[in-house]
């Protein structure tokens, strides 16, 4: 028994996630990027309903469907404090909290930087991490509200997870991220991953999820900062890369 994870496309490039504790059948949606799609997915799977919504941060493509999904299923909404300012939220979760989805333990981990109060949900026993926009295959989210130091600290928390941890990111941005990574230099490892990514997208396949090992080996926002000697230098390098990606048009 463990966590069953259903990933499906929403909006133009988001992913939705329904996660089910296999021991009890209790199911949660990680964020609500597109209410109609989430409702349809629950019905397509023949689930009796939706038990929880778990929000990661306040952006509309993560919390904007809260009201409609809750109205349909009557499920309570848990999430980061910052969500409350924009969208319905019944219970606040913060770094260090534990959320029990049936028999599955989800550790709540602060991952600020993309927004100030992003949280992730780590299923450590199953080796899964739901990281929203904090990290993507070969990339990371924009630094809308945080600082390089804060964001880099969050990325370090991910880099320190076991290498086989599976990272569930919330967008399909991988081809664009690949082009930026390649602009910084291509070695055999990045070449091999790039070939796989392009082949998957040509077949219409998802490139999410990825693993911690893959990201440490090829994601420039982990790979290059981790080459620096200390936290301050790593954060500075991360900030330089993020600023470069913000204006990259390759």
For residue range 185-217, what is the model confidence (pLDDT) as tens digits? 999 999 999 999 999 999 999 999 999 999 999
Please pick, among 31, 51, 62, 123, the residue that the annotation labels catalytic. 62
Q: Per-residue confidence at 1, pLDDT binned at 50, 70, 90?
A: confident
The string of pLDDT tens digits covering residues 19-64 is 999 999 999 999 999 999 999 999 999 999 999 999 999 999 999 9
Residue 148 confidence (pLDDT): 98
91 flagged as catalytic: no
Residue 205 confidence (pLDDT): 98
Please pick, among 21, 31, 51, 114, the residue that the annotation labels catalytic. 114
> Which pTM value belongs to this model?
0.97
Which one, of 156, 150, 213, 200, lies nearest residue 174 by Cα?
200
d(CA 25, CA 23): 6
230 flagged as catalytic: no
The string of pLDDT tens digits covering residues 158-180 is 999 999 999 999 999 999 999 99
Residue 198 confidence (pLDDT): 98
62 flagged as catalytic: yes
Mean pLDDT for 127-133 is 98
87-123: string of b/e by CB count within 10 Å (b at 16+)? bbbeeebeeeeebebbebbbbbbbbbbbbbbbbbbbb
Residue 250 confidence (pLDDT): 77
């Amino acid at each position: 028994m463990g966590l069953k994870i259903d990933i499906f496309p929403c909006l133009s490039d988001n992913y939705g996630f329904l996660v089910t504790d296999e021991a009890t059948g209790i199911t949660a949606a990680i964020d609500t990027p597109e209410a109609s799609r989430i409702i349809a997915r629950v019905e397509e799977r023949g689930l009796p309903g939706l038990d929880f919504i778990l929000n990661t941060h306040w952006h509309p493509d993560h919390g904007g469907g809260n009201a409609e999904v809750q109205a349909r299923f009557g499920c309570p909404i848990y999430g980061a404090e910052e969500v409350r300012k924009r969208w319905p939220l019944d219970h606040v979760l913060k770094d260090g909290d534990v959320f029990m989805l049936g028999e599955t333990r989800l550790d709540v981990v602060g991952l600020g930087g993309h927004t100030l109060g992003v949280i992730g949900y780590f299923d450590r026993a199953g080796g899964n991490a739901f990281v929203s926009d904090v990290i993507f295959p070969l990339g990371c989210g924009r630094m809308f509200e945080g600082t390089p130091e804060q964001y880099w600290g969050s990325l370090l928390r991910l880099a320190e997870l076991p290498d086989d941890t599976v990272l569930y990111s919330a967008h399909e941005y991988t081809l664009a991220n690949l082009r930026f990574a390649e602009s910084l230099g291509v070695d055999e490892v990045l070449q091999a991953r790039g070939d796989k990514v392009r082949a998957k997208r040509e077949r219409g396949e998802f490139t999410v999820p990825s693993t911690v090992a893959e990201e440490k080996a090829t994601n420039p926002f982990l790979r290059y900062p981790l080459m620096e000697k200390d936290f301050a230098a790593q954060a500075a390098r991360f900030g330089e890369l993020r600023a470069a990606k913000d204006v990259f048009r390759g």
